[in-house]
Amino acid sequence: SLIALAELNRPVPEEIIKPILVDVLRAIEYLHQNLVVHRDIKGGNILLTENGEAKLSIAVLSFHVLLMVLIFV
C-alpha cells in the first residue's frame, strides 16, 4: 500500500508518486462517473501491484455484508 512507501521515512521521488496519483485520480473519476463517493481515501486504501500500478480499494456495505472491492482502471 501507499502506507508502506510512507513508512520508509524518506520523501517519495516525484517520478514514483506521480503515476500512483494519476491511477488514484482515474479511479476516483471512474467512481464519480458511476455516482459512487469513496469517503475513505487514505494511504492504506491505495494498494500497489508488483509493477507499481495503484488500485483504490473500497469497502462496500450492502445487504449487511462487507465486501472488499478493487477498482481496476
What residues contact residue 72 under an 8 Å CB cut-off, 6+ apart? 55
Q: Active-site positions?
A: 40
Which strands, in side-by-side order, build the sheet including 54-62? 46-48, 54-62, 65-71
